[in-house]
Structure 1
């Protein structure tokens, strides 16, 4: 009789330990197939932090090449809370000639007896438990005579991935998908920036997208860079100092007010694992620019200065110029930035980066 492992979960997002458990099901437990069953909403969670389509796309990326894994949308397509008992009954009735087992992680043991229709469920199907950590509810294991298995464990969780932890252990292609779709953005930023800064960042992302459409360049990269441009804006200077010391100590000579642009770029490389130079360059240059400015560099620089919530004298003229001629608008905004910095801090405190950019683009009119 065909042996199939039912593996349910939120998979929000799917990660390497999920994949390693599935591989163990095939290699060690000798299942013919693993049926992955993403839930629409875990009964013990109030909300999912990603869309159904996004989770399915991440799963598709993660299981590429694993022919024994099949994705089943029975639960996720119901758009209501999902219960394991209903799923087990559905598949056992539909496929009476398949020997099913249900896969769970040891982290679920504490709530195991609270699962819906538990008394019927524990009789309906055999459970295989994978050891997710060194501490687990051994009392439940013994009480229900459950089998506990080990696997190639990275000891990571979806919660950690959402919170920018252990990304070096995550599936790179899934991490790239998350970054390029700005998933889990609010929970990654809520503790690091004010609501006002957060909405400014969203506005700059939207404005960058609008300018990218006008200038026929990569929409997604402009949108991501614009949205993340101020990611380090409200960090304390001690933390910024650590990143600059790690990546480029010469930048410590620049005014502290512009450190966040450099640190934001370094943070995206180091902690988000964004290795796209187009995005990290635009974040790096969005405050004081540079002699070498790509179209997306200019877009994010300008979008930051004229985003939707900005309101200062002559801003509509700046917006009109930028939309009509990006390079000309960039030069005008760079000139405004230079004059503002000179007025506020004095010409001797402007900083090398802004001075070089101003001389190249405005004084020498390149």
Structure 2
């Protein structure tokens, strides 16, 4: 990842990436441009707290994300959570990243669905001391005034042109082009012997074929 000496604006997208696909890639490219980020770190989880398991191994998911980072100069692989033996709590991760990169400004990328569930995350209010949140719209999800996160959202919501020197604690709302791809559907296609070339980068599909991944139904 980028060296610690230069102060940079870093987006972080966490996920299982099981597998990584254009539904991850294209929105993040749009967000990087909208927020003028220096780089976006793709951060595969090891044991996601909110999911039971992944279909393929952590090493295989890391390899697929690394292939995407090799193709797109806008991305870098962040393996800090994948190398952790226990559950991947964002608070622990951000504290570690701040020690490694004390001058960086971190923007954590989530969808409206994750924003709504944020109060269930481990020590969620402390997260605002360590990063900004960038929220993209999700079909079927809407923030309403009766939700626990609503007041926090209202207080912290900031336009990008109003963002000055504050290094954490803000929320930015972005609009992205909807993508029709999901990892679950892609795994189902692969299990049927199909090759979803419109949804998955070619080098990732090649890796999946070489390793015989996702051969059984999700």
Q: Does 1:186 align with 2:192?
A: no
Q: Does 1:55 align with 2:68?
A: no
Counterpart of 1:158 in structure 2 is 183
* In 2: Cα distance, 1:144 partner to 1:158 partner: 31
* In 1: Cα distance, 2:131 partner to 2:68 partner: 27
Q: Does 1:124 align with 2:149?
A: no
Contact 2:40–2:76 (CA<8 Å) still a contact in 1? Answer: yes
* In 2: Cα distance, 1:27 partner to 1:46 partner: 34
* In 1: Cα distance, 2:118 partner to 2:184 partner: 20
Using structure 2 for the length normalisation, give the TM-score: 0.76
The structure with the greater share of residues assigned to helix is 1
Contact 2:41–2:77 (CA<8 Å) still a contact in 1? Answer: yes
Contact 2:13–2:110 (CA<8 Å) still a contact in 1? Answer: yes
Counterpart of 1:242 in structure 2 is none
| SS, match of residue 43 in structure 2 | strand
Contact 1:40–1:79 (CA<8 Å) still a contact in 2? Answer: yes
Q: 1:107 to 1:22 in 2, by over 3 A?
A: same
Deviation at 1:15, TM superposition (A): 0.6
Deviation at 1:137, TM superposition (A): 3.4
Aligned pair partner of 1:98 in 95, 104, 121: 104
Contact 1:154–1:169 (CA<8 Å) still a contact in 2? Answer: no
Q: Deviations over 1:321-353 (max 9, x none)?
A: xxxxxxxxxxxxxxxxxxxxxxxxxxxxxxxxx
Q: 1:63 to 1:153 in 2, by over 3 A?
A: farther
Higher RCO by CA contacts (8 Å cutoff, separation 6 or greater): 2
Q: Which runs of 5+ in 1 are unaligned?
A: 189-366
Q: Does 1:2 align with 2:5?
A: no
* In 1: Cα distance, 2:216 partner to 2:58 partner: 18
The structure with the greater share of residues assigned to strand is 2
Counterpart of 2:141 in structure 1 is 136
Aligned length: 187
Aligned pair partner of 2:207 in 172, 177, 183: 177
* In 2: Cα distance, 1:114 partner to 1:20 partner: 28
Q: 1:109 to 1:157 in 2, by over 3 A?
A: farther
Contact 1:6–1:102 (CA<8 Å) still a contact in 2? Answer: yes
Contact 1:17–1:152 (CA<8 Å) still a contact in 2? Answer: no
Counterpart of 2:21 in structure 1 is 15
Q: Deviations over 1:179-207 (max 9, x none)?
A: 3322122225xxxxxxxxxxxxxxxxxxx
| SS, match of residue 85 in structure 2 | coil
* In 2: Cα distance, 1:62 partner to 1:136 partner: 28
| SS, match of residue 62 in structure 2 | helix
* In 2: Cα distance, 1:153 partner to 1:173 partner: 23
Using structure 1 for the length normalisation, give the TM-score: 0.47
